[in-house]
Amino acid sequence: MSPALMRVLWVVVLLSAVRGAPLGTVTPPPVILEPVPSVPVPSEPVRVDSGADQNISIPIHTEQQQQQQQQQQVALDVDVMLTGELNPNHYPARRAAQVVLHHLNTRYGSPYWWGALRQVHKATAEALGDSGRKYSLEVTLQDQISGTKETCTAEVVFPGGPAGGPPQVTTSYEGKSEINTQAQEEALYNQYNTSQNLLSGHNLPDSYGHVAPGMEPFWHLGGVASSFVMLKESSENTLYNMAQVVSVTQLATENNQLRFNYDVLLHEMVSQEIIHWKLLASWSPQEGVKASQMELLPKCHHCEPPQEH
């Protein structure tokens, strides 16, 4: 073998040691793209106690736990309503803060401004007798598009009594700080304020979390319009977010408002349900966003597509 080749071989051998493979060289595995039929690998037998009775409680560690096993079902609702200073990281403050968010989105939201809750700084709750309960909060919101943050104080009243009704919100918020979305809003409005090529879209975001760049403003608009629904549906026992725009279809402009039929899926955290709403959203840079004709679509139990086996 030539001396040069010998030297090269030495170098290669030494440098492969540098990679530190403990058991010799690492062989890159082949790329497997076709599905391989899955063969159960023989393993240590899973010992199943055939005498196991699922109704026997697991041995529990404290007396407290023993008592709980015998207690009746605890209601899903908050059954101990806290008053006074609340932990801002705990759910009662968080749920009330989310209501503030929905309220602010209905007032200030647009295709280029869509708030999210960033932080709850302080929260207190007060019982108002028959009138319900009032939360006082200090929160920070963040615009999901520009990232700018706004802090404000707010009050949320969840009405009492059998009729219930939507929460009432007031805030110290006075309007967005200087991220100027006006130019973008005007451009979008002018682009779509024609009867040619009415916009339509589906699945924003799609299954992979993707929204096409041109559709992003209509995803934001869907989120803002959904806030009208989420606000009126909220209580101390709910936490709503919009999960997806199933479809958006533009209608002819009326009274200088762009109009869109929206089909949206809302995620309600406490029940973990996906709730289907239709609504009509109208928008212009001057008037902001309005939602009307809000309609709950029933959960379709028998609409599941055929399964693949």
**DSSP assigned state of 44:** S
Q: Does 17 sit near another protein (CB under 8 A)?
A: yes
CB of 101 to another protein, least distance (A): 9
- By CB under 8 A, tell whether 116 contacts another protein: yes
Nearer to another protein, 47 or 196 (CB): 47
Nearer to another protein (CB atom), residue 185 or residue 268:
268
Helices 91-108 + 216-233 axis angle, to 10: 120
Stretch in the footprint of another protein (CB under 8 A) among 42-50, 123-131, 148-156, 162-170: 42-50
Q: Which stretch binds another protein (CB under 8 A): 4-12, 129-137, 146-154, 162-170?
A: 4-12
Span from 168-176, 208-216, 253-261, 285-293 in contact with another protein (CB under 8 A): 208-216
**Smallest distance from another protein to CB 286, Å:** 27
3-state secondary structure of 9: helix
Among 19, 51, 162, 298, binds another protein (CB under 8 A): 19
When asked if residue 286 is in the footprint of another protein (CB under 8 A), the reply is no
Give, as ranges, the residues between 144 and 203 that touch another protein (CB under 8 A): 144, 202-203
Size of the site for another protein (CB under 8 A): 91
Select 226 or 284, whichever has its Cβ closest to another protein. Answer: 226
Give 93: exposed, middle or buried? Use CB within 10 Å, 0-12, 13-18, 19+: buried
Find the part of the chain contacting another protein (CB under 8 A) among 132-140, 251-259, 264-272, 281-289.
Answer: 264-272
Q: Could you tell me the two tokens for 134?
A: 């009032």
Please name the amino acid found at residue 196: Q
User: Does position 44 bind another protein by CB under 8 A?
Assistant: yes
Q: How far is the CB of 117 from another protein (least distance, A)?
A: 7
Nearer to another protein, 64 or 197 (CB): 64
Q: Which residues within the stretch 68-87 sit at the binding site for another protein (CB under 8 A)?
A: 68-69, 71, 73-74, 76, 80, 87
Q: Which two tokens stand for residue 223?
A: 């989120």
Distance (Å, whole) CA 270 – CA 272? 5
218, 233 in Cβ contact below 8 A? Answer: no
